[in-house]
Amino acid sequence: MPLLLVLWLAAFGLPIAQAQSTAAGATDVALVITGDVGRPLSLSLSDLQRLSHTTLKVTNSHEGREETYEGVLLGQLLKMAGLAQGEKLRGSLMASYLLVRGRDGYRVVLSLAETDSSFQNAEILVADRMNGQPIGSDAGPLRLILPHDLRPGRWVRMLQSINVVTIPN
């Protein structure tokens, strides 16, 4: 394993043995963040479960009910991947977007700025639990939750990858 990756994993408290097993067995990989990032990420479900979690109560307008999701804020993951945030998010980065993809082929686009809490209330969640239970295979194990969207059309079930794209000048 490259030294830089070992140091990065240690800095974020992720166990090196888990990262090695994740690299060895692609079936362990739950989420990949690639593209125009400083540090591409390949995280297992257990890697994500060890990170700081946030709980959000949201209304799912498709289902007509309130649901409670737990997971990692997308902004935290983007920071881990080396993306600029806050005052550093400016200029050409304002033309950056995320192509988010689910295992079922569903895709959505988010601007990088809308994921940043310095621009708006960006509590976008990469959820691994719903109503106190792991998210079932029909929607999980990960689901992207945008609690401030009026419709859940950009909630990506079976979340598997985020590709960061910066449009060149």
pLDDT tens figures, 97-119: 999 999 999 999 999 999 988 88
pTM score: 0.81
Give the three-state DSSP class for 8.
helix
Q: In what order do the strands lie in the sheet with 29-35?
A: 41-44, 29-35, 159-166, 96-102, 107-111
**Domain-located, residue 130:** yes
Domain for residue 5, yes or no? no
Residue 66 lies in a domain: yes
Residue 24: pLDDT over 50: no
Q: Is the residue at 3 inside a domain?
A: no
Domain that holds residue 155: 29-166
Mean pLDDT of 30-40: 95
pLDDT bracket for residue 160 (50, 70, 90): very high
* Residues contacting 2, CB < 8 A, separation 6+: none
Residue 19 lies in a domain: no
Residue 16 is assigned to a structural domain of this protein: no
Task: Provide the domain count of the chain.
Answer: 1
- The answer to the question of residue 14 being in a domain is no
In-domain check, residue 150: yes
Q: Select from 27, 12, 9, 37 the least CA-distant residue to 162.
A: 37
Exposure class string for 103-137: b at 16+ Cβ within 10 A, else e: eeeeeeebebbebbeeeeebbbbbbbbbeeeebee
Q: What CATH number is associated with residue 33?
A: 3.90.420.10
Most confident of 18-32, 81-95, 115-129, 132-146: 132-146
| C-alpha torsion angle, residues 156, 160, 134, 121 (rounded to 10) | -50
* Number of other CB atoms surrounding residue 32 within 10 Å: 16
